Amino acid sequence: MTAIAQWGLLALIGYWVLTVVLRLLICVVRKVFWVVKTVLALWLFGLIVTDKNASADTTAVRVQGHHIPIRPDPECLAVICPADDPFISNEACTPS
């Protein structure tokens, strides 16, 4: 085997080893960040649910993530369903 072939083979093996190591490292980092994200979400959910100072309605809105009125208010519907929005039908915006 010539020196050029040996160096080429060494470069090919080095590239393969580096690829395997980097793929494993990326996989481990992704799993670690997934675990961190899950633990953080569960911890924040626990903080929301166990807040003794918050009422049941406040806790429900916090868990839901956004506000949807329980009893539709015409003023609130005017904000949610503007009359000039071409993507929302008028039937959806009329209070029941």
Query: Is 26 a domain residue?
Result: yes
> Is residue 37 predicted with pLDDT exceeding 60?
yes
Is residue 48 within 8 Å of residue 62, measured between CB atoms? yes
Same domain, 48 and 86: no
| pLDDT at residue number 58 | 81
Token pair for residue 94? 């009329």
**Type of residue at 5:** A
Same domain, 6 and 41: yes
Query: Is 61 a domain residue?
Result: no
Same domain, 32 and 71: no
State the Cα–Cα distance between residues 3 and 66, nearest whole angstrom.
Answer: 67
> pTM for this structure?
0.50
| pLDDT at residue number 21 | 94
Token pair for residue 79? 């904000």
Window from 19-23, 57-61, 72-76 with minimum mean pLDDT: 72-76
| pLDDT classification of 16: cutoffs 50, 70, 90 | very high
Residue 36's alpha-carbon distances to 32, 39, 41, 42, 64, in angstroms, are 6, 5, 9, 10, 22
> Is residue 41 predicted with pLDDT exceeding 80?
yes
Same domain, 48 and 71: no
| pLDDT at residue number 27 | 93
Query: Is 70 a domain residue?
Result: yes
Domain residues for 88?
66-96
How many structural domains is the chain composed of?
2
Residue 40's alpha-carbon distances to 27, 35, 58, 90, in angstroms, are 20, 8, 21, 41
